[in-house]
Structure 1
Amino acid sequence: MTGPRTVREAAFDVLRRTGMTTIFGNPGSTEIPLLTGLPDDLAFVLGLHEGAVVGMATGWAIARERPAPALLHTTAGLGNAVGALATARVNRAPLVVLVGQQDRRHLALEPFLAGRLDGLAGEYPVWTAQPARAADLPGLIARAYHEAWTHRGPALVVAPMNDWTEPYDAPEVAAPERVVRPTPVLDEDVAGLMASLLEARAPALVVGARAATAETWAALVEIAEKLNCPVWQESFGARAGFPQDHPLFAGFLPSGRAGLRRALAPYDVVVAVGAPVFRQYGYEPGPLTEPGTALAVVTDDPDEAHRSPVALALLASPAAVCARLAALLPGPRTRPAPRPPLPPLAPGPGEPLRAAHVLRALADRLPADAILIEETPSSRPDLHRLVPARTPLGFVSAAMGGLGFALPAAIGLRMAEPDRPVVAVTGDGAALYGIQSLWSAAHYRIGALFVVLSNGRYAVMDRLAESGGAGKAPWPPFTEVSMHTLAAGLGCPARRVTAYEELVAVLDEVIPALAARETPLLLDVAVTPDGTFTP
């Protein structure tokens, strides 16, 4: 005879109903009552660091376009994960984050592992809650699912450890089973924006991560071809908002105001779609654009809309707005001549292997449906120039700017999209922030390719220090670090590559079968630190 239904069993039903049946976590003692004897229809994916846990969940959520659950262990777990949660928030990845807490029956005495969790993650969660009583916990998990999805970020629920085994006696779950979010956009809603585009002498579009869906891409291509206007990508964007091999793709906007003014000076109307107006890096004085350039933004992010210095902000689904604009704009579609192919790029006799050589060799071999995750700040301009995104997941990056995203995100993306080739391109300095993820890749047989551009230093920081002219930077290189040795120690197959001939040989071997690959591979590619950092 079975006992009364528990909070744990009710919570499992919520996970099943919402499709959150793959739980990413790094458990501690406060999570044992939840996890031991986990039902067979719920999968647990172990990460060896909380940054890896949240990074894998973020990749999964980005690919699936639905919330992913992550489990963290009280103060230490949540504290370790804050940087990754910030990345999830800025990347607008919906996560349901369960944080373990000590037994509520003696929290007043602050026992060992009792967490002071209020505000520990700052304002990066889109919503936080703690159950007033055990029976409220399943409802809060259900609500967190909706909050994460609506606000596109991590929703956090604190779970005292004894709550899971308490009887579940709530008469109802305090959250809807289903939320319908209709996104109708009427003709009159886009009338003002369409009039501005039709009256413009020289319009231009700026696209960002929230335009990175197949539907939005298709509509934006039609709009650009009807207007015969250039399309720019926002700087430091998390995803590509337009096919970057299209003839009308103009490139990436500069992240400084002077360069931004020069880039946008030819246009009298500029419409940002799914992108902020405009993402900046270092401060520069002066306006964003020259006088006479009218700005508008189309976004589903209220904060983004409300802070934009524009004449018109259209707060709605970018896909729905673009679909209406594409249908209403008159005229034939004009497709300019294709871009000429880039010239071959290989090192000359005696020339050292550079990041650009690696990126071009990779670009020449990647299939159009490849998912590429980038975290190589010093080589990002070369990557943008040489590796165009040809699908909405063709480029994924950490919009927050913190390191440690690429390795775990690639694992989550591959788990969610098991039939697509997945490649993470990262610097060795960046990879060290998420190196524990390689154990998860090996253990769960994640067939992703990790290309580490190893120069033994924080090259982008060196360049920034040099450009500032204030003297020599105090940090040393770390050339003693061996990425392939670290990977092997974590059970991940790895190869060291020191010459161009070795590189193309291994890429020719691995890339054609990458979609079907069942084990990870890390390429530790020795490159010379060179070039000029262009933010």
Structure 2
Amino acid sequence: MEVLSPESQQAHPQACGYTVRHAVIAMLRELGMTKIFGNPGSTELPLFRDYPEDFSYVLGLQEAVVVGMADGYAQATRNASFVNLHSAAGVGHAMANIFTAFKNRTPMVITAGQQARSLLQFDPFLHSAQAAELPKPYVKWSCEPARAEDVPQALARAYYIAMQEPRGPVLVSIPADDWDRAAEPIAVRHVGFESRANPQTLELIGQALESAQAPAFVVGAAVDRGQAWDAVVALAERHQARVFVAPMSGRCSFPEDHRLFAGFLPAMRESIVQHLDGHDVVFAVGAAAFTYHVEGEGPHIPEGTRLYQLIEDPAIAAWAPVGTAAVGNIRMGVEELLARAPGAEAGRAAPRARPVPETPAPPAPGERMSVAYAMHTLTQVRDEHSIIVEEAPSSRPVIQTHLPIFHSATFYTMCSGGLGHSMPAAVGVALAQPRAKVIAVIGDGSAMYSIQALWSAAQLGLAITFVILKNRRYAALQDFSRVFGYREGEKVEGTELPDLDFVALARGQGCDAVHVEQAHELEAVLRKALLHERPMLVEVEVA
């Protein structure tokens, strides 16, 4: 693609043949968005003609894989990713992971190809009848520009909205014939994406923490997402506060070997109240208060406890059933609380330490290893700075116990509960962090939602270790069935997964793979896999 000088572009854009495609490519380059994640269709092809050499196209074999990779990449780079999908069908395929990106608060600019404008009145093949409406409500903003020459400005607006806290995906539908229309260059502007919380509300939070007898923090994904990890650790240490992880958090936001770490809250009202009992002040920082998965009754917090919240999302602050909420950037808010002069908290005694989990026993002869044993073994052999990308919902409590996370930006999962995110997200994280070791811990049921991610990992030559926990069932549904009145041992239809061979599936897509059934073999296999210079899948038979 010919590169025109900015002066020539500004002075004679039409005479120089300056088009929508030129304007968009130049803008993406300036924003650092030179990777395009996609699975192309016919209406997307005009964007890729004369493709610039400094750009790369990250191909996924299904649109949900595309969005999952872009999600991991955006989270790990902390910049919006650029996604290119195909009209209604492609966006439809991608919707599960668009939903997850929305819940993850992942900044993402999604473009969807549309048929040529002159065809739209005839209801053409593979068009999107209401393109801007299709992804709602799980995008922050969407549009189909009224004119071709408006496309670059619409994409600039989309980027700024995606990056504004609370961050999230946006979508712009672009007719195929727009890319070659004349356009003006876009001047990339500086836009502040974070806002400070109200000082008066932070004052109330500061006073409450200083006067508390036994404070507790509940940390959520926004702490790590907003680069507030160190500040939250310092604030917890100042107040000698026990620190819990919020239910369904997609990031680790506190070192799990810290003396103040108290564990993970379940997504059940009564259990949360039980865990927080004895704390007179609870500070939910970067977390909803609270995310529930099943119906409950009674109070949302223990009797006599006061709840305070710092969150970047005003919608979350609005639906919180109790408490005082400050809305604003997490890091800025916590740093302002740290800047307060020390008060009565200075002499507060440290809370009791969390019990150290017992080392899982190896299986008896003839039995499969437990997930606890597998995760404990992985913990023993991995570097603590390696990055874990997890999607094994039925095993999550065990994983949380036996695969602790110690450092910022070293854990990712989905905040949505939707399957099919983390296998491709691991590919995106590895692309963004080429010097880090990425380990994807995936359930066998979850893996089948986006198994094509293995092909992308192989084609990109990423040294990811995929650990598949193979229990041959949708265990989360079987375990959850009792909530809905199933009897012990009663069959749950559609939850058995026999005859899946992940070694064959991996090798068929270009990845190396190995099957492990014997517990005594696991450590050596994992050590070898973690040193492998290409993607490696380890299929682990678990009870």
Choose the corresponding residue for 1:345, options 360, 364, 367: 360
Choose the corresponding residue for 2:406, options 382, 390, 397: 390
Q: Are the counterparts in 2 of residues 374 and 424 from structure 1 also a CA contact under 8 Å?
A: yes
Output the CA distance in 2 between the equivalents of 1:349 and 1:298.
Answer: 48
Choose the corresponding residue for 1:409, options 425, 439, 443: 425
Displacement of 1:518: 3.8
Q: Are the counterparts in 2 of residues 492 and 520 from structure 1 also a CA contact under 8 Å?
A: yes
Q: Are the counterparts in 2 of residues 223 and 329 from structure 1 also a CA contact under 8 Å?
A: no
Output the CA distance in 2 between the equivalents of 1:52 and 1:335.
Answer: 46
Sort the Cα spacing of 1:153 and 1:181 in 2 relative to 1 into closer, same or farther, 3 A.
Answer: closer
Residues 98-125 of structure 1 deviation map (CA, whole Å, 9 limit, x = unaligned): 0000011111011111112242222001
Within the alignment, does 1:165 sit opposite 2:180 as a pair?
Answer: yes
Structure-2 residue corresponding to 1:458: 474
Structure-1 residue corresponding to 2:140: 126
Displacement of 1:127: 0.5
Within the alignment, does 1:381 sit opposite 2:419 as a pair?
Answer: no
Output the CA distance in 2 between the equivalents of 1:163 and 1:56.
Answer: 27
Code of the residue aligned with 1:119 in structure 2: it is E
Aligned pairs (5 A) from 1:28-67: 28-67=41-80
Within the alignment, does 1:482 sit opposite 2:504 as a pair?
Answer: no
Sort the Cα spacing of 1:40 and 1:333 in 2 relative to 1 into closer, same or farther, 3 A.
Answer: farther
Structure-1 residue corresponding to 2:294: 282
Displacement of 1:182: 5.7
Structure-2 residue corresponding to 1:469: 486
Q: Are the counterparts in 2 of residues 225 and 333 from structure 1 also a CA contact under 8 Å?
A: no
Residues 412-453 of structure 1 deviation map (CA, whole Å, 9 limit, x = unaligned): 001001111111111110000010111000001111111000
Output the CA distance in 2 between the equivalents of 1:222 and 1:4.
Answer: 56
Residues 31-69 of structure 1 deviation map (CA, whole Å, 9 limit, x = unaligned): 111113311011100000000000000000101111000
Code of the residue aligned with 1:436 in structure 2: it is Q
Within the alignment, does 1:525 sit opposite 2:540 as a pair?
Answer: yes
Displacement of 1:156: 0.3
Q: Are the counterparts in 1 of residues 529 and 538 from structure 2 also a CA contact under 8 Å?
A: no
Output the CA distance in 2 between the equivalents of 1:469 and 1:311.
Answer: 36
Any idea what SS the aligned residue of 1:190 has? helix
CA RMSD across the alignment:
2.1
Q: Are the counterparts in 1 of residues 68 and 424 from structure 2 also a CA contact under 8 Å?
A: yes
Aligned pairs (5 A) from 1:75-86: 75-86=88-99
Structure-2 residue corresponding to 1:4: 17
Structure-2 residue corresponding to 1:494: 513
Residues 185-221 of structure 1 deviation map (CA, whole Å, 9 limit, x = unaligned): 6865522111111111211110000011585221222
Q: Are the counterparts in 2 of residues 185 and 321 from structure 1 also a CA contact under 8 Å?
A: yes
Output the CA distance in 2 between the equivalents of 1:222 and 1:213.
Answer: 17
Output the CA distance in 1 between the equivalents of 2:438 and 2:93.
Answer: 26
Q: Are the counterparts in 1 of residues 73 and 81 from structure 2 also a CA contact under 8 Å?
A: yes
Within the alignment, does 1:89 sit opposite 2:108 as a pair?
Answer: no
Q: Are the counterparts in 2 of residues 50 and 72 from structure 1 also a CA contact under 8 Å?
A: yes
When structure 1 is superposed on structure 2, of 220-229 and 480-489 the one drifting more is 220-229
Within the alignment, does 1:209 sit opposite 2:221 as a pair?
Answer: yes
Structure-1 residue corresponding to 2:269: 257
Structure-1 residue corresponding to 2:334: 322
Structure-2 residue corresponding to 1:425: 441
Any idea what SS the aligned residue of 1:281 has? coil
Sort the Cα spacing of 1:444 and 1:6 in 2 relative to 1 into closer, same or farther, 3 A.
Answer: same
Output the CA distance in 2 between the equivalents of 1:329 and 1:317.
Answer: 21
Aligned pairs (5 A) from 1:189-204: 190-204=202-216
Within the alignment, does 1:148 sit opposite 2:162 as a pair?
Answer: yes
Sort the Cα spacing of 1:459 and 1:184 in 2 relative to 1 into closer, same or farther, 3 A.
Answer: closer
TM normalised by structure 1 equals 0.93
Any idea what SS the aligned residue of 2:337 has? helix
Within the alignment, does 1:435 sit opposite 2:451 as a pair?
Answer: yes
Displacement of 1:184: 4.9
Structure-2 residue corresponding to 1:531: none
Code of the residue aligned with 2:378 in structure 1: it is L
Sort the Cα spacing of 1:518 and 1:144 in 2 relative to 1 into closer, same or farther, 3 A.
Answer: farther
Q: Are the counterparts in 1 of residues 363 and 370 from structure 2 also a CA contact under 8 Å?
A: no
Sort the Cα spacing of 1:66 and 1:417 in 2 relative to 1 into closer, same or farther, 3 A.
Answer: same
Output the CA distance in 1 between the equivalents of 2:393 and 2:302.
Answer: 29
Structure-1 residue corresponding to 2:12: none
Code of the residue aligned with 1:66 in structure 2: it is N
Any idea what SS the aligned residue of 2:250 has? coil
Code of the residue aligned with 1:372 in structure 2: it is I
Any idea what SS the aligned residue of 1:280 has? coil
Sort the Cα spacing of 1:311 and 1:458 in 2 relative to 1 into closer, same or farther, 3 A.
Answer: closer
Over the matched positions of the two proteins, sequence identity in percent amounts to 38
Displacement of 1:181: 3.9
Output the CA distance in 1 between the equivalents of 2:426 and 2:248.
Answer: 18
Output the CA distance in 1 between the equivalents of 2:194 and 2:91.
Answer: 34
Q: Are the counterparts in 2 of residues 130 and 158 from structure 1 also a CA contact under 8 Å?
A: yes
Structure-1 residue corresponding to 2:6: none
Residues 349-390 of structure 1 deviation map (CA, whole Å, 9 limit, x = unaligned): 413212111111111222221111111011100011111111
Any idea what SS the aligned residue of 1:179 has? coil
Any idea what SS the aligned residue of 2:396 has? helix
Choose the corresponding residue for 1:228, options 218, 240, 244: 240
Structure-1 residue corresponding to 2:7: none
Sort the Cα spacing of 1:9 and 1:501 in 2 relative to 1 into closer, same or farther, 3 A.
Answer: same
Output the CA distance in 2 between the equivalents of 1:176 and 1:447.
Answer: 35
Structure-2 residue corresponding to 1:300: 312
Output the CA distance in 2 between the equivalents of 1:186 and 1:300.
Answer: 12
Choose the corresponding residue for 1:68, options 59, 63, 81: 81
Within the alignment, does 1:505 sit opposite 2:520 as a pair?
Answer: no
Sort the Cα spacing of 1:115 and 1:187 in 2 relative to 1 into closer, same or farther, 3 A.
Answer: closer
Any idea what SS the aligned residue of 1:212 has? helix
Q: Are the counterparts in 2 of residues 18 and 145 from structure 1 also a CA contact under 8 Å?
A: no
Sort the Cα spacing of 1:333 and 1:319 in 2 relative to 1 into closer, same or farther, 3 A.
Answer: farther
Output the CA distance in 2 between the equivalents of 1:300 and 1:495.
Answer: 44
TM normalised by structure 2 equals 0.92
Output the CA distance in 1 between the equivalents of 2:205 and 2:325.
Answer: 9
Output the CA distance in 2 between the equivalents of 1:119 and 1:494.
Answer: 42
Q: Are the counterparts in 1 of residues 213 and 280 from structure 2 also a CA contact under 8 Å?
A: yes
Displacement of 1:254: 2.0
Output the CA distance in 1 between the equivalents of 2:341 and 2:314.
Answer: 26
Sort the Cα spacing of 1:4 and 1:348 in 2 relative to 1 into closer, same or farther, 3 A.
Answer: closer
Choose the corresponding residue for 2:120, options 101, 104, 107: 107
Within the alignment, does 1:309 sit opposite 2:355 as a pair?
Answer: no
Choose the corresponding residue for 2:151, options 134, 137, 141: 137
Within the alignment, does 1:24 sit opposite 2:37 as a pair?
Answer: yes
Output the CA distance in 2 between the equivalents of 1:348 and 1:440.
Answer: 35
Displacement of 1:3: 5.4
Equivalent pairs, count:
521
- Structure 2: gaps (5+ residues): 3-14
Any idea what SS the aligned residue of 1:123 has? coil
